[in-house]
Amino acid sequence: MAADSLSKLQLLQRHIRTFPDFPKKGILFRDICPILKDPATLTAVTDLFEEHVRKNYKEVDLIIGLDARGFLFGPLLAQRLGIGFVLVRKKGKLPGPTLSVAYDLEYGKAEAEIQEDAVAPGQKVLLIDDLLATGGTLYAACELMRKQQAEVLGCMVIIELKELNGIDRLKQHSVFSLVQY
């Protein structure tokens, strides 16, 4: 890894806070809010994602951001790459005709949806979120892409919680994480 990339990763790691027992007892919550507060760190995260995409994917049509923190990083990356950005939201938050998928969370159940016309069949997409835990949300988003006949090139996250084995649910997809715990 280049020295510049390593220094950006170190900056990122210094800006992730840990909160024990949030949102419930036994959960060790990794907080990315300090990344957003610091312009240099936010730029470093965007730089690292951009470097990964440009190195590994010659053709990408859309960045797909997952509700809600994928919305923070996805548009910045899409703008840098000169491509579009699409939202995957919690059920009931998007107007017009939508497609939805139900999935399990670390501590509950949810449904994700996308507007029917958001992604065209055959488009090449990359999914982005802040965290990979059990993999439920990213898996649901991949299922939405399958329903829309898009080609999922890969998934990207800032943080991967390895002990929760979320990557196992995404075996058929490439997963890139900046930081692992």
Catalytic residues: 69, 106
Cα–Cα distance measured from residue 89 to residue 163, given in angstroms and rounded to the nearest whole number: 26
Contacts of 178 (CB under 8 A, 6+ apart): 9, 12, 45, 48, 49, 157, 158, 159
Task: Determine the 3-state secondary structure of 115 from DSSP.
Answer: strand
Taken in order 36, 181, 51, 152, the sign of the CA dihedral is: negative
Give the CA distances from residue 41 to residues 27, 70, 82, 87, 125, in Å, rounded to whole numbers and listed in that order: 25, 16, 21, 24, 25
Of 86, 123, 1, 124, the closest CA to residue 51 belongs to 1
Cα–Cα distance measured from residue 179 to residue 158, given in angstroms and rounded to the nearest whole number: 6
- Residues 165, 173, 30, 84, Cα dihedral to 10°: -170
Q: How far is CA 50 from the centre of its chain?
A: 13
